[in-house]
Amino acid sequence: MDLLAQILINGILLGGLYAVMALGLALVWGVLNIVNLAHGAFIMLGAYVSWYLYTYAGVDPFLGLPITAMVMFVIGYAVQRGLLNLIVRAPMFNTLLITFGLEVVLTYLAQLAFSADFRTINPSYAGNSTQWGPIVLPVARLLAFGVAIALTVAMWLFLLHTRLGRAIRATAQNLVAARLYGVEPRHLYAVTFGIGIALAGTAGGLYGTVSQINPYIGAALTAKSFAISIIGGLDNPLGVIVGGLFLGILESLTSLYVGSTFADVASFGVLVLVLIVRPNGLLGKAA
Protein backbone atom coordinates (compact mmCIF):
# COMPACT_ATOMS: atom_id res chain seq x y z
CA MET A 1 0.00 0.00 0.00
CA ASP A 2 2.83 2.35 0.89
CA LEU A 3 4.46 1.56 -2.42
CA LEU A 4 1.32 2.47 -4.34
CA ALA A 5 1.01 5.73 -2.44
CA GLN A 6 4.63 6.59 -3.18
CA ILE A 7 4.17 5.76 -6.85
CA LEU A 8 1.09 7.98 -7.03
CA ILE A 9 2.92 10.87 -5.41
CA ASN A 10 5.82 10.32 -7.83
CA GLY A 11 3.31 10.52 -10.65
CA ILE A 12 1.72 13.71 -9.36
CA LEU A 13 5.06 15.47 -8.92
CA LEU A 14 6.14 14.31 -12.37
CA GLY A 15 2.82 15.60 -13.66
CA GLY A 16 3.59 19.06 -12.36
CA LEU A 17 6.85 19.14 -14.26
CA TYR A 18 5.05 17.88 -17.35
CA ALA A 19 2.47 20.65 -17.03
CA VAL A 20 5.13 23.34 -17.02
CA MET A 21 6.75 21.78 -20.06
CA ALA A 22 3.54 21.82 -22.03
CA LEU A 23 2.28 25.22 -20.92
CA GLY A 24 4.15 27.24 -23.50
CA LEU A 25 3.17 24.92 -26.32
CA ALA A 26 -0.49 24.91 -25.32
CA LEU A 27 -0.58 28.70 -25.09
CA VAL A 28 0.90 29.27 -28.51
CA TRP A 29 -1.17 26.52 -30.07
CA GLY A 30 -4.45 27.28 -28.44
CA VAL A 31 -4.28 31.02 -28.83
CA LEU A 32 -2.25 31.62 -32.00
CA ASN A 33 -2.91 28.32 -33.74
CA ILE A 34 0.81 27.86 -34.20
CA VAL A 35 1.92 24.28 -33.70
CA ASN A 36 5.51 24.54 -32.56
CA LEU A 37 7.44 21.35 -33.28
CA ALA A 38 10.57 23.09 -32.00
CA HIS A 39 9.09 23.53 -28.55
CA GLY A 40 11.39 20.94 -26.98
CA ALA A 41 14.44 22.64 -28.49
CA PHE A 42 13.45 25.86 -26.74
CA ILE A 43 13.10 23.97 -23.47
CA MET A 44 16.62 22.73 -24.08
CA LEU A 45 17.88 26.26 -24.70
CA GLY A 46 16.24 27.49 -21.53
CA ALA A 47 17.95 24.70 -19.64
CA TYR A 48 21.31 25.81 -21.00
CA VAL A 49 20.62 29.44 -20.07
CA SER A 50 19.85 28.35 -16.52
CA TRP A 51 22.94 26.18 -16.49
CA TYR A 52 25.19 29.05 -17.57
CA LEU A 53 23.61 31.34 -14.98
CA TYR A 54 24.15 28.73 -12.29
CA THR A 55 27.65 27.64 -13.27
CA TYR A 56 29.20 30.99 -14.12
CA ALA A 57 27.22 33.47 -12.05
CA GLY A 58 26.22 31.26 -9.17
CA VAL A 59 22.55 32.11 -9.61
CA ASP A 60 20.24 29.64 -7.89
CA PRO A 61 18.27 27.80 -10.58
CA PHE A 62 14.89 28.52 -9.02
CA LEU A 63 15.57 32.14 -8.17
CA GLY A 64 17.12 32.63 -11.59
CA LEU A 65 14.02 31.45 -13.44
CA PRO A 66 12.78 35.01 -14.11
CA ILE A 67 16.12 35.84 -15.79
CA THR A 68 15.93 32.70 -17.91
CA ALA A 69 12.35 33.58 -18.76
CA MET A 70 13.31 37.07 -19.90
CA VAL A 71 16.17 35.85 -22.06
CA MET A 72 13.94 33.27 -23.69
CA PHE A 73 11.17 35.84 -24.15
CA VAL A 74 13.51 37.97 -26.22
CA ILE A 75 14.54 34.96 -28.29
CA GLY A 76 10.94 33.92 -28.80
CA TYR A 77 9.86 37.43 -29.78
CA ALA A 78 12.65 37.60 -32.34
CA VAL A 79 11.82 34.20 -33.81
CA GLN A 80 8.15 35.05 -34.20
CA ARG A 81 8.68 38.57 -35.48
CA GLY A 82 11.50 37.65 -37.80
CA LEU A 83 10.49 34.22 -39.03
CA LEU A 84 7.17 32.76 -38.05
CA ASN A 85 5.18 35.89 -38.78
CA LEU A 86 6.15 35.29 -42.39
CA ILE A 87 4.06 32.18 -42.66
CA VAL A 88 1.16 32.78 -40.29
CA ARG A 89 -1.39 32.92 -43.07
CA ALA A 90 -0.03 29.93 -44.93
CA PRO A 91 -1.63 26.53 -44.48
CA MET A 92 -1.07 25.10 -41.02
CA PHE A 93 0.99 22.37 -42.54
CA ASN A 94 3.72 24.89 -43.40
CA THR A 95 4.01 25.80 -39.74
CA LEU A 96 4.62 22.16 -38.87
CA LEU A 97 7.35 21.94 -41.49
CA ILE A 98 9.08 25.17 -40.61
CA THR A 99 9.10 24.52 -36.89
CA PHE A 100 10.50 21.07 -37.56
CA GLY A 101 13.30 22.67 -39.58
CA LEU A 102 13.81 25.13 -36.77
CA GLU A 103 14.16 22.25 -34.32
CA VAL A 104 16.90 20.70 -36.42
CA VAL A 105 18.73 24.03 -36.71
CA LEU A 106 18.51 24.78 -33.00
CA THR A 107 19.70 21.32 -32.06
CA TYR A 108 22.72 21.52 -34.33
CA LEU A 109 23.58 25.04 -33.23
CA ALA A 110 23.37 23.92 -29.62
CA GLN A 111 25.64 20.98 -30.39
CA LEU A 112 28.16 23.32 -31.98
CA ALA A 113 27.93 25.87 -29.18
CA PHE A 114 27.70 23.65 -26.13
CA SER A 115 29.15 20.31 -27.33
CA ALA A 116 27.37 17.02 -26.81
CA ASP A 117 28.53 16.63 -23.21
CA PHE A 118 25.71 16.32 -20.75
CA ARG A 119 25.29 18.98 -18.08
CA THR A 120 23.56 19.00 -14.77
CA ILE A 121 22.30 21.79 -12.54
CA ASN A 122 23.08 20.53 -9.12
CA PRO A 123 22.47 23.02 -6.32
CA SER A 124 23.23 21.69 -2.86
CA TYR A 125 19.60 21.14 -1.96
CA ALA A 126 18.75 19.34 -5.20
CA GLY A 127 19.17 15.90 -3.71
CA ASN A 128 17.30 16.63 -0.52
CA SER A 129 14.05 15.05 0.34
CA THR A 130 11.44 15.55 2.95
CA GLN A 131 9.38 12.86 4.53
CA TRP A 132 5.62 12.86 4.85
CA GLY A 133 4.74 9.75 6.79
CA PRO A 134 6.05 6.82 4.76
CA ILE A 135 6.24 8.93 1.62
CA VAL A 136 9.48 10.53 0.48
CA LEU A 137 9.14 13.81 -1.40
CA PRO A 138 12.15 14.98 -3.42
CA VAL A 139 12.63 18.68 -2.74
CA ALA A 140 13.54 19.67 -6.29
CA ARG A 141 10.44 18.04 -7.76
CA LEU A 142 8.27 19.54 -5.06
CA LEU A 143 9.53 23.02 -5.90
CA ALA A 144 9.07 22.36 -9.63
CA PHE A 145 5.51 21.24 -8.92
CA GLY A 146 4.82 24.42 -7.02
CA VAL A 147 6.22 26.57 -9.79
CA ALA A 148 4.16 24.66 -12.34
CA ILE A 149 0.87 25.21 -10.56
CA ALA A 150 1.67 28.85 -9.91
CA LEU A 151 2.61 29.53 -13.52
CA THR A 152 -0.41 27.77 -14.94
CA VAL A 153 -2.85 29.61 -12.70
CA ALA A 154 -1.04 32.86 -13.49
CA MET A 155 -1.38 32.14 -17.20
CA TRP A 156 -5.08 31.47 -16.79
CA LEU A 157 -5.63 34.69 -14.91
CA PHE A 158 -3.48 36.59 -17.39
CA LEU A 159 -5.44 35.43 -20.42
CA LEU A 160 -8.84 35.94 -18.87
CA HIS A 161 -8.46 39.01 -16.74
CA THR A 162 -5.74 41.32 -17.99
CA ARG A 163 -5.89 43.76 -20.86
CA LEU A 164 -2.92 42.27 -22.65
CA GLY A 165 -4.35 38.80 -22.22
CA ARG A 166 -7.66 39.82 -23.67
CA ALA A 167 -5.95 41.64 -26.50
CA ILE A 168 -4.03 38.48 -27.35
CA ARG A 169 -7.15 36.36 -27.38
CA ALA A 170 -9.01 38.93 -29.42
CA THR A 171 -6.29 39.14 -32.02
CA ALA A 172 -6.20 35.40 -32.34
CA GLN A 173 -9.93 35.14 -32.79
CA ASN A 174 -10.51 38.01 -35.15
CA LEU A 175 -7.56 39.63 -36.83
CA VAL A 176 -9.49 42.30 -38.68
CA ALA A 177 -11.50 43.45 -35.71
CA ALA A 178 -8.38 43.57 -33.59
CA ARG A 179 -6.68 45.78 -36.16
CA LEU A 180 -9.69 48.09 -36.17
CA TYR A 181 -9.21 48.53 -32.47
CA GLY A 182 -5.62 49.64 -32.94
CA VAL A 183 -3.94 46.41 -32.02
CA GLU A 184 -0.69 45.79 -33.89
CA PRO A 185 -0.99 42.07 -34.65
CA ARG A 186 2.63 41.50 -35.63
CA HIS A 187 3.79 42.81 -32.28
CA LEU A 188 1.09 40.98 -30.38
CA TYR A 189 1.79 37.64 -32.04
CA ALA A 190 5.46 38.09 -31.25
CA VAL A 191 4.68 38.94 -27.64
CA THR A 192 2.50 35.86 -27.30
CA PHE A 193 5.06 33.59 -28.85
CA GLY A 194 7.68 35.22 -26.67
CA ILE A 195 5.64 34.39 -23.58
CA GLY A 196 5.25 30.83 -24.82
CA ILE A 197 8.99 30.48 -25.29
CA ALA A 198 9.66 32.14 -21.94
CA LEU A 199 7.50 29.45 -20.39
CA ALA A 200 9.37 26.78 -22.30
CA GLY A 201 12.64 28.23 -21.05
CA THR A 202 11.37 28.18 -17.49
CA ALA A 203 10.45 24.55 -17.90
CA GLY A 204 13.98 23.97 -19.15
CA GLY A 205 15.47 25.55 -16.08
CA LEU A 206 13.36 23.28 -13.89
CA TYR A 207 14.14 20.26 -16.04
CA GLY A 208 17.85 20.88 -15.58
CA THR A 209 17.55 20.43 -11.85
CA VAL A 210 15.93 17.01 -12.09
CA SER A 211 17.58 15.54 -15.17
CA GLN A 212 20.44 15.83 -17.67
CA ILE A 213 20.82 18.52 -20.29
CA ASN A 214 22.28 17.88 -23.70
CA PRO A 215 21.44 19.28 -27.15
CA TYR A 216 19.28 16.29 -28.08
CA ILE A 217 16.65 16.28 -25.35
CA GLY A 218 14.37 18.49 -27.46
CA ALA A 219 12.61 15.92 -29.61
CA ALA A 220 11.38 13.71 -26.77
CA LEU A 221 10.22 16.73 -24.78
CA THR A 222 8.28 18.06 -27.77
CA ALA A 223 6.51 14.74 -28.14
CA LYS A 224 5.63 14.66 -24.44
CA SER A 225 4.39 18.25 -24.50
CA PHE A 226 2.15 17.44 -27.43
CA ALA A 227 0.62 14.51 -25.64
CA ILE A 228 0.01 16.61 -22.56
CA SER A 229 -1.51 19.53 -24.44
CA ILE A 230 -3.89 17.41 -26.44
CA ILE A 231 -4.94 15.14 -23.61
CA GLY A 232 -5.65 18.10 -21.41
CA GLY A 233 -7.28 20.13 -24.12
CA LEU A 234 -6.27 23.42 -25.68
CA ASP A 235 -9.40 25.42 -24.94
CA ASN A 236 -8.66 25.92 -21.29
CA PRO A 237 -5.23 26.96 -19.98
CA LEU A 238 -5.77 24.75 -16.96
CA GLY A 239 -5.87 21.82 -19.37
CA VAL A 240 -2.14 21.33 -19.12
CA ILE A 241 -2.40 20.60 -15.43
CA VAL A 242 -4.99 17.94 -16.12
CA GLY A 243 -2.98 16.57 -19.01
CA GLY A 244 0.29 16.65 -17.10
CA LEU A 245 -1.11 14.99 -13.98
CA PHE A 246 -2.93 12.38 -16.02
CA LEU A 247 0.18 11.45 -17.94
CA GLY A 248 2.47 11.55 -14.91
CA ILE A 249 0.23 9.22 -12.93
CA LEU A 250 -0.41 6.96 -15.93
CA GLU A 251 3.30 6.53 -16.60
CA SER A 252 4.12 5.82 -12.96
CA LEU A 253 1.37 3.25 -12.62
CA THR A 254 2.31 1.60 -15.92
CA SER A 255 5.88 1.41 -14.73
CA LEU A 256 4.81 -0.30 -11.54
CA TYR A 257 2.24 -2.75 -12.86
CA VAL A 258 3.30 -3.46 -16.44
CA GLY A 259 6.94 -2.52 -16.80
CA SER A 260 8.86 0.67 -17.38
CA THR A 261 9.40 -0.04 -21.05
CA PHE A 262 5.66 0.34 -21.59
CA ALA A 263 5.41 3.92 -20.35
CA ASP A 264 5.65 5.37 -23.88
CA VAL A 265 3.11 2.88 -25.20
CA ALA A 266 0.69 4.08 -22.55
CA SER A 267 1.32 7.81 -23.12
CA PHE A 268 1.09 7.77 -26.88
CA GLY A 269 -1.64 5.17 -26.90
CA VAL A 270 -3.80 7.45 -24.78
CA LEU A 271 -2.88 10.34 -27.07
CA VAL A 272 -4.14 8.46 -30.09
CA LEU A 273 -7.32 7.47 -28.25
CA VAL A 274 -8.00 11.03 -27.17
CA LEU A 275 -7.44 12.32 -30.69
CA ILE A 276 -9.88 9.82 -32.08
CA VAL A 277 -12.54 9.90 -29.44
CA ARG A 278 -12.33 13.34 -27.85
CA PRO A 279 -10.00 15.59 -29.85
CA ASN A 280 -10.69 18.60 -27.70
CA GLY A 281 -9.12 16.91 -24.74
CA LEU A 282 -10.34 16.04 -21.30
CA LEU A 283 -11.14 19.63 -20.40
CA GLY A 284 -12.35 20.63 -23.83
CA LYS A 285 -15.84 20.74 -25.20
CA ALA A 286 -17.11 17.39 -26.40
CA ALA A 287 -16.47 17.08 -30.15
Partner 1 sequence: MNAVRIAVVLAALAILAAVPWFGSDVLIQFGINALLLAVLAQGWNIIGGYTGYPSFGNSVFYGLGSYGVAIAMVQWQWPFGAGLVFGVLLAAVFAVLLGIPVLRLKGHYFAIATLALAQVMAAIVSNVKLAGRNIGLVLPPLNNDRLFYELSLGLLVLATLTIFWLTRSRFGFGLIAIRENEEGAAVMGVNTTLYKTLAFALSGIFSALAGGIHAYWVTFIDPESAFDISLNVKMIIMAVFGGPGTVLGPVVGAFSLSAISEFLSSEITSLAGLFFGVVVVAAVVLMPRGLADMLRRIRRVGWRYFAENIRTHRL
Partner 2 sequence: MLKISGLTALLFAAAAVTMPSNGAFAKDIVLGASVQLTGPVANTGRYYRDAYQFAIDKINASGGIKVGNESHKLALKLYDNQSDVNLSVRQYTQLVSQDKVDFLLGPFASNFALADSAVSEKYRIPMVQGGGASDQIFARKFKFIFGTLAPASNYFGSTIDMLKGLSPAPKSVALLYADDAFDVSVADGTRPKLKQAGLALAMDERYSTNATDFNSLLSQIRSKNIDVVLVAGHETEILNFVRQAKSLAVAPKMYSFTVGVPSEDFRKALGKDADYAFGMTAWLPSAKLKDRWFGDAGQFAVAYKAKFGYDPDYHAASGVADVEALAQAVENAGSIDPAKVRDALAKVKFDSLYGTIAFNDNGQIDLPQTVIQVQGDKLTAIYGANGKIAEPKYPMPAWNAR
**Contact flag: residue 88 with partner 1 (CB under 8 A):** yes
Q: Which string of DSSP letters, residue by residue, matches 262-285?
A: GHHHHHHHHHHHHHHH-TT-TTS-
Choose the contact partner of 181 out of partner 2, partner 1, none; CB within 5 to 8 A by kind: none
Residue 126's binding partner among partner 2, partner 1, none (Cβ under 5 to 8 angstroms by kind) is: partner 2
Furthest CA-CA distance within the chain: 61
Looking at residues 221 to 260 of the shown chain, list those that interact with partner 2 (rule: CB under 8 A): 251-252, 255-256, 259-260
Q: Which of 55, 94, 115, 173 binds partner 1 (CB under 8 A)?
A: 94
Q: How many residues bind partner 2 (CB under 8 A)?
A: 38
Contact status: 271 vs partner 1 (CB under 8 A): yes
- The contact mask relative to partner 1 for 106-135 (x = CB under 8 A, - = no) is -xxx-xx-----------------------
User: Shortest distance, CB of residue 276 to partner 1, whole angstroms?
Assistant: 4
Q: 149-188: which residues touch partner 2 (CB under 8 A)?
A: none
- Exposure letters 73-107 (e unless 16+ CB within 10 A, then b): bebbbebbbeebbeebeeeeeebeebbeebbeebb
Among 2, 57, 58, 261, binds partner 1 (CB under 8 A): 261
Mark 13-52 with x for binding to partner 2 (rule: CB under 8 A) and - for no binding: -x--------------------------------------
- Quick check: 105 binds partner 1 (CB under 8 A)? yes
Instruction: Confirm if 218 and 43 have CB atoms less than 8 A apart.
Output: yes
Distance CA 268, CA 84 (A): 28
Q: Which does 103 bind (CB under 5 to 8 A by kind): partner 2, partner 1, none?
A: partner 1
List the Cα angle 122/11/129 in 5-degree steps: 40
| Closest distance to partner 2 from the beta carbon of 261 (Å) | 5
Q: Is 35 exposed, middle or buried (0-12, 13-18, 19+ CB in 10 A)?
A: middle
Tell which residue, 178, 158, 201, has the closest CA to residue 50. Answer: 201
- Which residue ranges make up the site for partner 2 (CB under 8 A)? 2-3, 6-7, 10, 14, 111, 115-118, 120, 122, 126-129, 131, 136, 138-141, 210-212, 214, 216, 220, 251-252, 255-256, 259-261, 263-264
